[in-house]
Structure 1
Amino acid sequence: MDNLMNQKVLIIVPHQDDEINIAGSMIYELTKQDICVNVLYTTNGDYHPYEANTRLKECILSLDVIGVAEKNIYFMGYGDTWKGETHLYNTEGDEPLISMAGRCETYGLPKHPEYRFIKSGIHSKYTRNNYKRDMRDIILDIMPTVIICVDFDWHWDHRATSLIFEEIIGELLKERNDFKPFVMKKFAYAGAWEGPKDYYDRPFKPTILPFEKLDKRYELDVPSYKWDSRIRFKVPTEAKTPLIRNNIIYKAACKHKSQMVRFTINRICNDDIVFWLRRTDSLTYHAGINVSSGNAKYLNDFKLIDCSNVYTKRKNVDIFDNCIWIPDEKDERKTITFFFAEPKIVQSISLYENFDLICHIFDAEIDFYNGYKIKTGELINSGEETIILFPEQKNITTISVKIMKYVGKKPGFTEVEIFTNKQRPNLSFLKGDYQSDKTSSLTSNRIRKTMEINYFEILLLIARIKRKIKRVYKNG
């Protein structure tokens, strides 16, 4: 992994301009190092049908500014939002849908068609199975070493992209031994689009814990994430210039003329860019699983959450379902057993408890079936990762986890991960040292901030008026 030229990065986002929120400065930094960056858009951003071609053309121009060649841009060509009450993610596999733009199959630009047409000479009908197949095929065509994907935000298309991506990764990790990419997730809104307008604060501020949350009882919209577990990357100097108008990410955002992303750069650009790392080297993906009761598939599916209606508005974690192994209430054993075809070395186990705060595991027992057992003690109550460390165990073919003490009627796990290496993956080829920029005096910054904000507010007002007039005109 030390050879930069061998790295291939894939950014997966739903809409044209989300790449700016998710990884704008990261894309620029990587392409500067001649690392191949690919960007995949799952939808055509065609909620307003007349914007589709415009948005596709704009993203090509925008990505060119930060170093991504057009040949490395992939359009899946699916709709932005769907007619009816059910999102494509929550439909049955081959149930056809019609997008808000009135279309029923994928499309792209005349000179840059969508992926399926380029690959197979056909357009994919709008079904869940086709959406999943197209994304999976793109991933396998590229075989990226690093994947950065949008996480579960408040927008339904973001939620669908995130969840189907995780579904695909879970399946690929089980099917293949040659595919263990670094996977990083990031919220497009929390901490970015909805972040504070702090670009002109000095020293440059790091990304801060989001204000708006799905459920105030948890730090982040995915309950299993912990703020202190975020991965922070250095932002290039070109992405934190004294004036926003000179910022390389702002220049890229300005190519999205039909959208408002350029007016959020004062929120998006910080002294760092943060992600949540999802490890892909767990031994559980190639293990057999027996459970004393409950649904074992949730234990190694890569999904920490799921949602049976992604259209659900912000409420609380009750919107998450079908993602937790919960043994029967009358099950006295409450045990998971993992079997390995070949002996393994094991150094650590990560347990993600049911994030329902009413249910809590106070102790569990891990048995390695070699004479060594360990008690976990109280797990972290909220679904966050509880890491269990122990002396290296060799020649392990069976491991069981038994819930011993708990409160609530539904103790369980969203995921169990077993690792040969207790150390997290080395991301040094991506990450630079984090440093704060302490340049410029406070007085000059106050003057600059006032001038730039007034400039921004005027431009934003004009853009909103123009956009509203255009929509009225287009809609008759």
Structure 2
Amino acid sequence: MNLDIKKECNNVMVIVPHQDDEILMSAGVIRVCEQNNVPYTVVMVTNGDYGCIDYSKGYARLKESLAGLETLGSNKESFEIMGYADTGMPERESFLTHLYNEKNEQKIYPSSCARETYGLEDKVEFHMKKYGKHGDYNRITFEKDLEMLLEEKKPDVIFTTSEYDMHGDHSGLYYFVCEVLDILNKKNGYEPKVFCGLIHSCAGDDNWPERDTAVFSCPQGLEENSNYKWEERMILELPEEMKKARGINNLKYQALLKHETALEPDAYEFLMAFIKDEEIFWRVR
């Protein structure tokens, strides 16, 4: 089934955990919104600073996201930094999975470089913007930040990562988004549409997305290991300037190139496999 941004969306929010996820999953969504004057916000939850003992990696990756979005025609006013930690991919290491499962909502989960939110000098994080101070790396602060952000922006359509994603931050983010939407629904009846995209599938990053194809194939094991049905996916056909045949002139490719930190040799083929003629999602709410 085709996804028509112009028809279905009046105010879009893309919520992703890490720098480059917004390009891999939803560069086409962002571009189509930009082209058709559909209001949108790209929300970056973590600073992507895994393994770094200072802020240098986080600063670099946030700037790379801004550069990638600028390539798509966006600007920093459409970008919100939440400024939380990136502590690893497996669920046992994942910051967002730890936070979601934590019973003590005040317990701080430090990263290798911080215990509280941070942003850029010329683009502060959401908590700083609202409260004039950094926010603790704990469950209650993150949940309240996300709740306030959704209340403020009131998107009618949300694109975010999937509960079936193999990265703990991706699945953890999904659960937080659903939790906060349930809170807001009880509070004021707010009920946006929610679409989820896969980045790290159960087939493994070495196998999916399939390399050198113009369309996505069904990840091996997807239907056996999730509630997703391949035939129920929503397909966004990308604009001509983002089609795979454009090669190095492809706008999604050019935006992804801005993410120099992520483009390590062992990840390059995986990341470039998202350069296709389409983006795919499942509607979950």
TM-score by length of 2: 0.85
Gaps of at least 5 residues in structure 2 are none
Stretches of 4+ aligned residues off by more than 3 angstroms: 1-4, 261-266
With over 3 angstroms needed to count, the CA separation of the structure-2 counterparts of 1:234 and 1:243, relative to structure 1, is closer
Q: In structure 2, what is the equivalent of residue 78 of structure 1?
A: 84
Q: In structure 1, what is the equivalent of residue 131 of structure 2?
A: 120
Contact 1:186 1:276 in 2 (8 A): yes
Matched ranges for 1:393-404 at <5 A: none
Rounded Cα–Cα distance in structure 2 between residues aligned with 1:93 and 1:7: 37
> For the pair shown, which has the larger CA radius of gyration, 1 or 2?
1
Q: In structure 1, what is the equivalent of residue 223 of structure 2?
A: 219
C-alpha offsets along residues 139-177 of structure 1, whole Å, 9 cap, x if unaligned?
111001110011121111112111111111122222223
Contact 2:181 2:191 in 1 (8 A): no
Higher alpha-carbon deviation: 121-130 or 232-241? 232-241
- Tell me the SS of whatever aligns to 2:87: coil
Q: Give the alignment partner of residue 58 of structure 1, picking from 58, 64, 71.
A: 64
Contact 1:250 1:262 in 2 (8 A): no
Q: Give the alignment partner of residue 250 of structure 2, picking from 247, 251, 263.
A: 247
**Cα RMSD, aligned residues only:** 2.6
Q: Give the alignment partner of residue 212 of structure 2, picking from 190, 198, 203.
A: 198
With over 3 angstroms needed to count, the CA separation of the structure-2 counterparts of 1:192 and 1:270, relative to structure 1, is farther
The reply on whether 1:268 has 2:280 as its aligned counterpart is: no
- Tell me the SS of whatever aligns to 2:117: coil
- The amino acid across from 1:169 in the alignment is L
- Tell me the SS of whatever aligns to 2:116: coil
Gaps of at least 5 residues in structure 1 are 280-476
Q: Give the alignment partner of residue 232 of structure 1, picking from 231, 235, 251.
A: 235
The reply on whether 1:257 has 2:260 as its aligned counterpart is: yes
Pairwise CA distance, 1:3:
8.0
Rounded Cα–Cα distance in structure 2 between residues aligned with 1:192 and 1:186: 15
Pairwise CA distance, 1:262:
6.1
Contact 2:65 2:259 in 1 (8 A): yes
Pairwise CA distance, 1:48:
3.0
Q: In structure 1, what is the equivalent of residue 10 of structure 2?
A: 7
- Tell me the SS of whatever aligns to 1:189: coil
Rounded Cα–Cα distance in structure 2 between residues aligned with 1:116 and 1:100: 18
The reply on whether 1:278 has 2:284 as its aligned counterpart is: yes
Rounded Cα–Cα distance in structure 1 between residues aligned with 2:73 and 2:260: 19
Greater share of residues in helix: 2
Contact 2:51 2:87 in 1 (8 A): no
| Aligned positions, number | 266
- The amino acid across from 2:70 in the alignment is D
- The amino acid across from 1:8 in the alignment is N
- Tell me the SS of whatever aligns to 2:180: helix
Matched ranges for 1:286-435 at <5 A: none
Rounded Cα–Cα distance in structure 1 between residues aligned with 2:282 and 2:5: 21
With over 3 angstroms needed to count, the CA separation of the structure-2 counterparts of 1:154 and 1:271, relative to structure 1, is same
Contact 1:12 1:148 in 2 (8 A): yes
TM-score by length of 1: 0.52
Q: In structure 2, what is the equivalent of residue 44 of structure 1?
A: 47
Contact 1:96 1:125 in 2 (8 A): no
